[in-house]
Structures are given as structure tokens and as C-alpha cells.
Structure 1
Amino acid sequence: MSSTIIYTLTDEAPMLATYSFLPIVQAYAGQAGVEVETRDISLSGRILAAFADVLPEDQRIADDLAELGRLATTPEANIIKLPNISASTPQLKAAVAELQDKGYALPAYPDDPQSDEEKDVRARYDAVKGSAVNPVLREGNSDRRAPEAVKGYARRHPHSMGEWSSDSRTEVATMGQDDFASNEQSAVLGSDDILTIQHIAADGTVTTLKSGLKVLQGEVVDSTVMRAAALDEFLREQVRRAKELDVLFSVHLKATMMKVSDPIIFGHVVRVYFADVYAEYGDRLMAAGLDGTNGLAAVLSGLDSIDGGEEIRAAFEQALADGPRLAMVNSDKGITNLHVPSDVIIDASMPAMIRTSGHMWGADGEEHDTLAVIPDSSYAGVYSAVIEDCKKHGAYDPTTMGSVPNVGLMAQKAEEYGSHDKTFEISADGKVQVVAEGGEVLMEHEVSAGDIWRACQTKDAPIRDWVKLAVTRARATGDPAVFWLDENRAHDARLIEKVRTYLADHDTDGLDISIMAPEAAAAHSVERIRQGLNTISVTGNVLRDYNTDLFPILELGTSAKMLSVVPLMNGGGLFETGAGGSAPKHVQQLTSENYLRWDSLGEFLALAESFRHLGDTTDNAKALVLADALDRATGTLLDENKSPARRVGQIDNRGSHFYLALFWAEELAKQTSDAELAERFSALASSLREQEQTITDELIAVQGSPADIGGYYRPDDEKAAAVMRPSPTFNAALASLAS
């Protein structure tokens, strides 16, 4: 087995933190004979890899993501995966523009490709958008939980929680009919097959939407449709209600992970909110591609290039004044909930709202009750259940509340997050069919022009592994495990059959394992939370994503402090390091005042598990010592409050890395199971402790002035390293470990 750990280079704040933390990791790992290599899976790296065959030779880079995808299927895989950008179209275009400015010979992103060459360029870029990384690497299911040290710290040092009132007007609005959840059909394949998705127009014209779709025996295949006319009617009603109730209007989608369907839905929201503008100027706006799919900001910026642009701009401004108040992303800058699809991501925005008294920010810079619009009803009830619980019982108490760890089904592009290549905006009335190779129609939907149709797959092997992991966690913790599955939803009904079958393969005596619909499971879990009890949520892929933000943000104040382990199905390990939702703001602060608030706690937790996995699989006792010492050092870091502070003049991300290195070295120096390691780290521990004041002074001295890192999406390595490693004393002490 390999003694190599792969540390991924990603984007934004996690990537900047890597310039500071990775040298520490490599220096310490080297003492245990462990190599720590890097692979670039950043947005810019993925873009360059996608065009490697057409770029000049000196601009080509390897496709590291594809390499890691292959590695993830092998027993020797040991990958630490940091948060990366799941790019929306505006983010992708911004990254391409930056790379072009740096001299990379990349083609422009074609909004309306016509030629075969333009279609090829568009296809390459589209493959980079959205959740391009996670489905490739996640060859296993997810085990996410709050480590005891983190949970204990949150109880001793509770984060702020806004007060809730029983007369709060905040609520969730969802369709409940004519949406993805209500229209879903599902089939389990009796044998391996090759499916075709086809559209049959009203006049009988048959168009193949996708062919050659390989499926395996036992695989669950779903199809569904969201009806555009019903969506618009629903949205019109919510705009009216928000105005009538005098609450903020907000929409909560995931235009990054659901990179085909949700931007389309977002465009509907923009057009409905600004219905009067589109009624009068829609022909010009739509002809210019300003349909709202990329958000209000893209529409407004595009007005400069069309006739009567200023007149239309004034109409938008009047509509904002006349319509319901919009929730704001940044009230100081006038950035609304509708400006950029990737600015308001449901799994981050909804928990933040719930934590803040059910409020979002208004244009006046104040908090207000909010109508949270979640069009598809598949999982909206989870947030409704938590909001209703808060209205009834008040805010949760971090000093006493229990926990909701998660076992998530996500391997091999399971469920909705694997639907991108099977999602279509329907061009004409008719029907869409999923057809087996022998001609049997497995599923069929009547459709109208503009409807959003999608199909999803969930392979049988990941489901078996998911059930096994749920039983393993229930046995290890003694906590009850609840499968969040709704027997009235087509896909979930299929999974319930499989769950019951595969549970029989395991010893479940003495375990509390049950199945509940998501809304009921959420209500059950928060009831237990208030009693200080833990409940394992066993969920599908999307709810895995939602729950591992929702509950950690309420319990810990952030989801970045979760331990996220992916036991890969072929024996390897993938160790994820938390959420990246606040990463852009951190980068902005670094470049403006050389201060990085990003908390690398997730990296510390993942690294310890990575060392532990490597030690267990390669019989490397030194790696196990490193893991145990790192866990204790992380506990000390929390107890001594050496995580990044909140303002300039205090330690930031770089300072927390120094203290982690200090506490880690001290733990290694005093451990007794490996005298060689203890001797190697004792000198470093003494040196770091003696020079603590000098090092922290050097780290803080650089703060307060702008920092040049040479790029947002692809920083200059030399400049970024200089910014993130500004203490010569610390750098020299670390270098001495290798001598």
C-alpha cells in the first residue's frame, strides 16, 4: 500500500490557507515517512485541463481531477479534498476572463454556440460548471459528524443565536404539486440495460435527448418534470404574498450543484418578479439573452448593449421600488437575492436565516421576517419543520443541544446531483420517454414547452454500502438512526424496499433504526436536539448536503467544523474539509487588508483521519502517532482560543496554523510510544514556544494593508506564498525539521 496522501489544491480561501498550512503538513508527515503530494482540482485548473489539447505546450496542465477519479476506485486512495468552487456561469466566465488576462489562449465562452467548434467549446466549459468535482471523487458514501472536541468547545463557548418569536411571519413556500417531487416516476432495473431518453412532439417528431445511457441490474432510475406554467403561477402568488405580508421575498436554490435545472428556475423567478418589465420589454431582453438565468446583475450589465437600455433600467428600478422588498446579499452594495444565482445557496442561506431569528437582511440594512421560496417540495418541508419548531419553542441552545450526524448516500453520482447530463428544458409540447434497449417504455411524462425534465440514477452497490455504513455508525455510537425517506415519493419508495432488504443482511439487534419522511424526521430530530440527544440522519445525496449545513450551523455556528469522512467502496479514503460558502468574502478581506479569517479546523480534522487511515492500512505506526497527536493539538487550539479572530490586529488563519504547529509539536514531543518521533519534535517544540511572541508579532505586523496575490481564480504561487508565509522566524524553524 502507498504511503502517500494527496492534498488537493482548490479555490478561494481554502486555497490561500493551503499556501500556509501545506508546508507544515509536509514537514511533519515526512518524519513518519509519509509523502504529501498535491493535485490541482481548482476551477482554473479544471478549465485549463479541459483545453489542454488546444493550448500552447507551455500552458498545458494535466487533468488532475480525472487522475484522482481513477485513484478513488483503488484501495490505496488517500485524498484530502478541500472546498472548491462549483461554478455558476458568471463565475466560470470570470475565471476564463482572468486566465485570458494572464495570457492563456482560451476561447471565449459561447453563450449561443452555432458552429461545431463553438458547440465543442461550450460542452467543455459546461463540463467544468457546477458540481464537477464531487461526483468524480465520491466513490463512497458520506460519514459526517461533529467531533467531540468541537462539540464540547461549542457547548463551552456558544455562538450567538437570534431570538425567535411565536408571531414570526417567516415561512417556507413550496409548490407541492406539478413539481419534481410530485411528478416523479421510478423504476428498478431487472438487468443491465442501455437506455434512451426521447422527446416525441405533438406532431410525432421523435428527438433523442440522450442515448447510450448504461444502467446496471438493481439500479434505481427516476424521471420527473417541473411544469413551467405551474412554476410561474406559484411564483406570482409568492410575489403577491410577500408584498401583502410585508416580508422580504427570497428564493433558495442550488444553482451550483443543480447546474442545469436551478439556473432555469432562477430565470423564472427573475422574470416573474419583474413581470411588468418583461411584459413591456421582453422581446428585446430575451433576444439579447437577458432572461434572468444568470441573475439580475447580468441583466442590468447587459442593458448597455441594447436599444433603450437606460429606459429599461429605469423600469427595473421602478419594479424594485413597487414590488415586495427583496432579501439582500449585500445591502451596502445593493446586491439583492436575485442578483447572482450562486450568491444564495439553499444549504447555507436557510440555516443562516434560521439561526438569525428567521430573518434576512433588507435593503435598509436591518433584519426582517422573510418568505423563503423553495419551488420544489422534495425537501422544503425539512426547513418548514425546523422553522415551526423555533416559532413554538424558541431558538436552540448550543450549550445543551444534541447533534444530528449524517450518513449520506452519494457514491457514483447518486440521485439528483448526478442528473446534469439528463436534464432538459423542453422545446415543444409532447411527451418524454425513458426507453429500454428492447423498446420497453419504462417511464413517460406529458410535457409542454418550457417544462424542466430530468432523470436520475442510483446504483445498487452504493445503496448497499449506505445501509452498511448506517448500521456501522448506529452500532459504534448507540444513537438511533433514521432513514429520511418518504413512502409517498416514487424514488424513496424504491429505496425503502431496498433498505428493508439490506438491513436484514446485518446484525441490528439492540439498534434503533427507523424510516420517516423527511419533514417528520426533521421534527423528530429537533425534538431530540432540545433534549440534548443525538440522532443519526441517514439520507440521500441532496439531504446529505442540506443536513450537514443545517444542523452544524445551528449546533456549532458553522459547517466548516464538521468531520467529513468518505470510506471509499474499494477500500480507500476520501477526507473532506468542510464548507466553502464564506470563502469569497475571506479572499476579499485578505486582498484589502491582508487578513484571512478562514478557519482551517476542517483541514486539521480531515488530516488526522487521513493519517489514521494511512496508519491502519499500511501498518505505519508513526502515522498513527501523528494522527493522535494532531487530534489532541486541535483540542488544545480550541480550548486556548487560537482559531482565527474576527478583526485586524489579532491572529488570523496564518496565526492559527502556527499555533496548531506548536501544539502538535508539543504533543509529539511528550508522547511515549515512539522515542524517535519524540526526539525529533522536542527541539522544534522548544524553538516554537521560545519564539512564540516573535512569530505572532511577525504574522500580525503585515496586516492592515492591501495584499497582492496575483489573481483571484489562479493566484501567482510566489506572491501568494509570500503573503501567506510572512514570518521568517516560523519558516526557518519549520525548515530545521527537515535538516
Structure 2
Amino acid sequence: MAATPAKIIYTHTDEAPLLATYSFLPIISAYAAKAGVDVETRDISLAGRIISQFPERMTDEQKVADHLAELGELATKPEANIIKLPNVSASIPQLKAAIKELQGQGYDLPDYPENPQTDEEKAVRAAYDKTKGSAVNPVLREGNSDRRAPAAVKGYAKQYPHRMGAWTSESKTNVATMGKDDFRSNEKSVIVEADDTLSIVHVGADGTETVLKDAVKVLAGEVVDGTFMNVAALRRFLTEQIARAKAEDVLFSVHLKATMMKVSDPIIFGHAVQAFFPTLFEQYGEQLAAAGISPNDGLGALMSSVADLPDGDAIAASVKQGLADGPRMAMVDDRKGITNLHVPSDVIIDASMPAMIRTSGHMWGPDGNEDDCLAVIPDSSYAGVYQTVIDDCRAHGAFDPATMGSVPNVGLMAKAAEEYGSHDKTFEVPAAGRVEVRSGAGDVLMAHDVEPGDIWRACQTKDAPIRDWVKLAVTRARASQTPAIFWLDETRAHDANLIGLVTEYLKEHDTDGLTIEIMAPAEACAYSLERIRKGEDTISVTGNVLRDYNTDLFPILEVGTSAKMLSIVPLMNGGGLFETGAGGSAPKHVQQLVNENYLRWDSLGEFFALAASFEHLAGYADNKGAQVLADTLDAATATFLLEDKSPTRKIGGIDNRGSHFYLAMYWAQEIAKQTEDADLAAVFKPFAEKLTAAEDTIVGELNAVQGSPADIGGYYRPDDAKSDAVMRPSATLNEALAAL
């Protein structure tokens, strides 16, 4: 029998994580090679995904293989060992910006067709649509999620608690949500009895049938849901909340997920833009539409495009008047005039809501000051979770990172489970009528009466991932002796079906002595918060969307960031996917690097993922050296935290590059003194001594470049040579690694 290859795949992604890779990957590769472990890269960046869709238009030097598809296939195999860094889940404005940059770099790419008419334009649009939104995660996640704060990170946060804003009982911050006529209230759900092929059909008022999606393959036991948001009700709701924010004199903000929910939420965002500027769209809506300017792309795209229109000045004046007439709007960057409604991907709910809660329930206003806000979350599925946290803070004050407990997460996500809005089963309804989900035999499994512009969507959750999810929850509860709460609402159609399955599958496991309960999300949140304030931990067992929300919400409150989480995905066929944390702050870090040659990105998530990856490899490849690398990296990371070698926020201290050096030095020191592998110790002893002796020189070389602009040759597609030079400015460190 052939030996299992000792190989780790490290993903080439985007923005700050990509820049950090230029610095950290040479260290990883050098250390791994000494243990007989190969480290290879695969390009799943937004730019790489775009280029891979048009091989016939590329030169041989420009071509990028479809590495995402390759990794998706690998994830189904037992030898999979993939380290997944954060990537851009592109909104349409981001996608267009990436295309424009690549065209400027000489890539023969077509423009993004807003309204494709010809077959060629439709094919181009279909190719681009494969790359936008959460295109990567559903492909790679062939297992469920186990995400938690490592003990070292939690210990550091308790010893050195991050700053939390004070809360008062007078806070006027609240969440506004629809509660009816939305996705939550209109949901229907069925469990398919046998393998089948479904279709989604729109039946017009005159009986005309249009197939929205055919050949939807489902397996026996699969949970299939359908729902819609009534857009007339949405518009009334948005108008009411704009008026409410003004009456209560709080900042108005909209919180959506216009990346992961790549069809539905950009449309909702566009309705928010129109609702905030009613006069603008009443007077100039047709002219804007004729010019291809969509409110879905945000106020920023609109303002950058109107100068060339005949009424450009009047349109700009109307926007200015709309801002004056409406409530004060929450700002993304008050210094640059970038509002909450400028770019759909600027205010992502899972990052924006925790940041707001951490900062006294405040967002930034147009005057440059913090203030209370009305957080508008149209769909009510999970809005109550955030309201529960806000109410708790209003009643009991801010959380204390030095004493608070933790909320690790077990998330249902395998085989694209519950990827609402990330797939090809979401539609803006073209005409009044009904949307029906039909079986292969033509039976109607569910139906909704809809109006023009309503947003209809479906999702699938296969049975095998649900069983695996329940098993993982029990495993984690027993391993940590921690209560595990399934965040499921019996009054919601999808959750009601899952509750039945969870209840049945729990019987297959030994749960004696464990606390495992099922609660509606708001109730589960309140229960967890009560325990948090006592310093107690509670596992949240959730579906995929709540996994996304909770694994930002609680880590940001507990340890100040979600980028430092340990995120393991035990793949269902035996492999491992190791994720390195969230990348929501990555764009600001790139801007700082370009302006000041200083990268604040913290690679701690990569350190934890790498250690888990080595440990996994040691098991399946029977590689003693890989286990030594895992154990010593964990020890080095603990020293790294205790010595406080994470990047500082401002120039003058060490940045990402300096943090990598210190991790490398501590890691080499640990390998040199371990006794499990004498050969590895002998190799690393002189290397560790070399780094230790050269510490001041290396740090000086790394810090010397700070303060001046840096040229990396592109945002979405940085130039490798330029980026390598920027991210590896220490000749002493580079020479030492080369010698190793």
C-alpha cells in the first residue's frame, strides 16, 4: 500500500491575509521540509477565481487553473489537509473593481454585463457569478465546523483584557426587524422521502409557467426550504425605520450580509438606498437605471457615476438634500464621507453588530462622534439575538473580558448546508403569481403567492451533515464537559424539521451526564449570556448562518477579535480543513500597508490552524516530525502571546512581519530543546541560536521600512515580486531561512 502523502495545502487568498502569506509561508515551508512535509499553495483569491473562468482569453503565463474546484474534490478525500485563509466574498462592486484592475494589468477579461442580452453576455455573466459572494466556503466545507477560542488566547485576554465601551441604562440603541412578511415568517420546509430531482417554477397570474431552476438534485432525508420576502412590506418597514431613527435622534444603520447572501441582500440594500432617498429616485430613477446605475451597488457607486449624466449636478444636490432631510446616518468613515449606504460590502452584519455592541452600542456619526443607533436588520430570523445582547448590556453593563466565559460553536455547514443567498436558488420575482417547488413527479411540495420584486429563495440541508453535526456537538460537549445548546426555534419551519431530526439522532449517542438542550436563538443567547457573566462556557450548536454570526459576535466580545479563533473542520471523509479566522478588517490593513508600509494583520489564527494541521498530518501519515512541529508550535505560540509579540496598532512597533520573526524564533527554540526527535533538534539548534543572536538586527531591518508608501502592484492581484520584497525586508532573516 502506498504511503499517504505528507502534504499540506496552504491557500493563496486576498488582501491582508495574502500579504501576510508572503512573509509567513517561507518560514512554514522551511520548517516543514525538515520534517518531510511538503507545503503547496492553491490560488483561491477573487482574482484567481476570475482568471480561471476565462482560460481561452489568457496567455500561458496568465492562466490560473480552477484551484477551487481542485480543492473541492480534494476535500472529499481522506488525505485532505487544507489550511484556508480568509478570502474576499465579493459583492458586485468588489467584483467589478477586481475586473477593472485585472484588465489594467493586461488580462483580456470582458466587462461585467449588468443586463446580459446575448448568449455570449449571458455566458460571461454566468462565469462571473460563479466567483462572487460566498463562492469558496460551500465548496471546501465538506465537514461541520468546530470553532473556539484557544486556551492561550482566552488566557491572554483575561490577563490583558481588551478595551470595552461602557453601557448605560439610558442607551437608545436598538434593533429593528420586520417580524412578518419576511424570510423568517414565510418559510416552508419539507423532508424529502427519497432521492429526487426538483424544479422551481414561477406560475404567472395568467397561468404562464417559467422554470426558475430545474434539475435540483436532492437525497433521501434532505431538508428543503423555501421562503420569500414581500418587498412592498420591506419598503414600508424601511421607510418607518428611517422616520423612527429621526424621531428618536439616533443614527440610522442597515446591517446585512451582501457577500454571503449574494443575491438577496444586495437587493435589500438597494431598497434601503431608495427608501432613504425617495425624492432622488422619484425624480431621477429612470435616468439612473438607463445609465446602468443600480441602487444595489450603493450610494458610492451612484455618486462616482453621475458626473457624466445630463442632470449630474442636480442628482448630487438631491443626494445632499436627502442626507440633510433624513436621520443622521451611521458612517463607515466620517472623514471621507463614506456612509452606511455607500458600499453594500462595507457593513457586514457579523462584523458590524459585534463591533457596535463592544463600543457602548455606538456607531460613528457624520459629525465624527459616537452615538446610539437604530440597527436595521430586515429579516427577523436572527435579529433577536443581537437585541438580546443589547438588552443585556443595557441592564447589566459591558462584559468584562477578564472574567467572562466563552461561547464556542459547532456549526452545521457541510455540503453547503443552509447557504441562504449563496447559491443559484434565489430569485427576484419577475411578475405576480406563485413560486412552486415541484418533485420529479410534478407534485407541488411547497408554494408561495408572490408579487413583482419579491425575493424568493430556497436552501437544502442534507441528512448526512445533520447526523454528523449532532455527533460533533455531543463529542465537543463531552470533551469539554460543557453544556451544548442547539439554537433552533420550533415556531420556524426549517428549525422545526431539524428539531425532529436532532431529537432522533441524539438517541444514537451516549449523552449521560451531559447538558444538551434545544432553545430558540434569542432564548439560547440569553441563557449563554447569563452563564458568560458567571465566567461559564456554553457551546452554541447552530446552523450555518448563525455559525457565521456567533463566531464573530462572541469572540469579538471575549477576546477582541474573531481572527484569533481555532477553527477546525473535521471533513466527513476523514480529511481536515483548518480555517484561520475572519478577514473583515483586512481591507483597512491593506490601505495602511500601502500608505505606511505597516501591516497590522494578526496571523495568530494561522499559527493555531498550522499546529492543528501538522497534528492531523502526523496522525494519518504516521509522521513523528510533524507531531513535533505541532507540539513545539503550540508552545511557541504560548510564548508569543505571553511576550506580547502580536502586531501593534501603529507604526513604530513590530507589525505582521515582526510577529512572524518572533514566532519563528520561539518555534526554533522549542524544536531545538525537545527530546522526541533528536535529528530535528540537532538541525534547529544552530538555527535557533542564529535567530536569537540576530534578534535586534532582524527587528531593526523589519522596522526600518515603516513610514513610507509601499508598492505591491495591485489590490486584488498584487505583483508577486513586489509583494515579496515588501513583506520580506530583512536580508538577515531571509538568508537564515535560505540556509536552513
Deviations 1:564-623 (A, max 9, x none): 000000000000000111101111111111100000000000000000000011111111
Report the counterpart of residue 129 of structure 2 in structure 1. Answer: 126
CA distance in 1, matches of 2:329, 2:622: 57
**Counterpart mapping for 1:405-484 below 5 A:** 405-417=408-420, 419-484=422-487
Residue 421 of structure 1 aligns to a residue whose secondary structure is coil
Residue 691 of structure 2 aligns to a residue whose secondary structure is helix
Partner of residue 342 from structure 2, selected from 316, 339, 347: 339
CA distance in 1, matches of 2:420, 2:597: 36
Residue 255 of structure 1 aligns to a residue whose secondary structure is coil
Report the counterpart of residue 259 of structure 1 in structure 2. Answer: 262
Letter in 1 for 2:75: A
8 Å CA contact 2:79–2:574 kept in 1: the answer is yes
Report the counterpart of residue 576 of structure 1 in structure 2. Answer: 579
Report the counterpart of residue 508 of structure 1 in structure 2. Answer: 511
Report the counterpart of residue 601 of structure 2 in structure 1. Answer: 598
Report the counterpart of residue 374 of structure 2 in structure 1. Answer: 371
CA distance in 1, matches of 2:531, 2:270: 39
CA distance in 2, matches of 1:705, 1:282: 44
Report the counterpart of residue 81 of structure 1 in structure 2. Answer: 84
CA distance in 2, matches of 1:18, 1:152: 27
Residue 186 of structure 2 aligns to a residue whose secondary structure is coil
**Counterpart mapping for 1:25-64 below 5 A:** 25-64=28-67
1:304 positional shift = 2.0
Is residue 2:661 matched to residue 1:631? Answer: no
CA distance in 1, matches of 2:406, 2:64: 43
8 Å CA contact 1:419–1:457 kept in 2: the answer is no
Deviations 1:626-684 (A, max 9, x none): 00100010010110011101211211000000000000001111111111111111111
Report the counterpart of residue 288 of structure 2 in structure 1. Answer: 285
Report the counterpart of residue 402 of structure 1 in structure 2. Answer: 405
Report the counterpart of residue 100 of structure 1 in structure 2. Answer: 103
CA distance in 2, matches of 1:466, 1:707: 45
Is residue 2:650 matched to residue 1:619? Answer: no
Report the counterpart of residue 215 of structure 1 in structure 2. Answer: 218
Is residue 2:724 matched to residue 1:728? Answer: no
**Counterpart mapping for 1:7-18 below 5 A:** 7-18=10-21
8 Å CA contact 2:477–2:514 kept in 1: the answer is yes
Deviations 1:359-381 (A, max 9, x none): 00001111000000000000000
Report the counterpart of residue 496 of structure 1 in structure 2. Answer: 499
1:709 positional shift = 0.8
Is residue 2:458 matched to residue 1:485? Answer: no
Report the counterpart of residue 325 of structure 1 in structure 2. Answer: 328
Please identify, of 145-154 and 416-425, the stretch whose mean Cα deviation from structure 2 is larger: 416-425
CA distance in 1, matches of 2:601, 2:252: 30
CA distance in 1, matches of 2:422, 2:663: 41
8 Å CA contact 1:56–1:105 kept in 2: the answer is no
CA distance in 1, matches of 2:35, 2:111: 47
CA distance in 2, matches of 1:473, 1:255: 32
1:214 positional shift = 0.5
Partner of residue 644 from structure 1, selected from 642, 647, 665: 647
Residue 593 of structure 2 aligns to a residue whose secondary structure is helix
1:290 positional shift = 2.8
1:285 positional shift = 2.2
Give the gaps of 5 or more residues in structure 1. none
Report the counterpart of residue 248 of structure 2 in structure 1. Answer: 245
Please identify, of 678-687 and 564-573, the stretch whose mean Cα deviation from structure 2 is larger: 678-687
Partner of residue 612 from structure 2, selected from 609, 612, 618: 609
Partner of residue 312 from structure 1, selected from 311, 315, 320: 315
8 Å CA contact 2:399–2:533 kept in 1: the answer is yes
Report the counterpart of residue 536 of structure 1 in structure 2. Answer: 539
1:313 positional shift = 1.0
Partner of residue 687 from structure 1, selected from 685, 690, 708: 690
1:493 positional shift = 0.3
* Alpha-carbon distance change, 642 to 467 in structure 1, aligned in 2, over 3 angstroms: same
CA distance in 1, matches of 2:43, 2:7: 16
Letter in 2 for 1:334: G
Report the counterpart of residue 232 of structure 1 in structure 2. Answer: 235
CA distance in 1, matches of 2:423, 2:326: 33
1:276 positional shift = 1.8
Report the counterpart of residue 149 of structure 1 in structure 2. Answer: 152
CA distance in 2, matches of 1:306, 1:453: 34
**Counterpart mapping for 1:104-183 below 5 A:** 104-183=107-186
Residue 577 of structure 2 aligns to a residue whose secondary structure is strand
Residue 654 of structure 1 aligns to a residue whose secondary structure is helix
8 Å CA contact 2:135–2:422 kept in 1: the answer is no
Report the counterpart of residue 67 of structure 1 in structure 2. Answer: 70
Report the counterpart of residue 350 of structure 1 in structure 2. Answer: 353
CA distance in 1, matches of 2:209, 2:628: 63
Report the counterpart of residue 304 of structure 2 in structure 1. Answer: 301
**Counterpart mapping for 1:644-663 below 5 A:** 644-663=647-666
8 Å CA contact 1:595–1:703 kept in 2: the answer is yes
Q: What TM-score do you get using the length of structure 2 for normalisation? A: 0.99
Please identify, of 48-57 and 14-23, the stretch whose mean Cα deviation from structure 2 is larger: 48-57
Residue 23 of structure 1 aligns to a residue whose secondary structure is helix
CA distance in 1, matches of 2:148, 2:713: 36
Residue 77 of structure 2 aligns to a residue whose secondary structure is coil
Residue 482 of structure 2 aligns to a residue whose secondary structure is coil
1:278 positional shift = 1.3
8 Å CA contact 2:435–2:450 kept in 1: the answer is yes
CA distance in 1, matches of 2:421, 2:543: 12
1:58 positional shift = 3.3
Letter in 2 for 1:19: Y
1:299 positional shift = 1.3
1:472 positional shift = 0.4
1:286 positional shift = 2.7
1:418 positional shift = 6.2
Residue 414 of structure 2 aligns to a residue whose secondary structure is coil
* Alpha-carbon distance change, 342 to 419 in structure 1, aligned in 2, over 3 angstroms: closer
1:419 positional shift = 4.9
Residue 730 of structure 1 aligns to a residue whose secondary structure is helix
8 Å CA contact 2:262–2:422 kept in 1: the answer is no
8 Å CA contact 1:418–1:457 kept in 2: the answer is no
Give the gaps of 5 or more residues in structure 2. none
8 Å CA contact 1:419–1:456 kept in 2: the answer is no
Is residue 2:7 matched to residue 1:4? Answer: yes
8 Å CA contact 1:146–1:552 kept in 2: the answer is yes
Equivalences, count: 737
The RMSD of aligned alpha carbons is: 0.8
1:111 positional shift = 1.1
Letter in 2 for 1:62: A
Residue 191 of structure 1 aligns to a residue whose secondary structure is coil
CA distance in 1, matches of 2:695, 2:100: 42
Letter in 2 for 1:582: S
CA distance in 1, matches of 2:26, 2:294: 47
Q: What TM-score do you get using the length of structure 1 for normalisation? A: 0.99
CA distance in 2, matches of 1:16, 1:191: 48
CA distance in 2, matches of 1:298, 1:465: 44
Deviations 1:78-122 (A, max 9, x none): 000000000011111111111111111111111111110011001
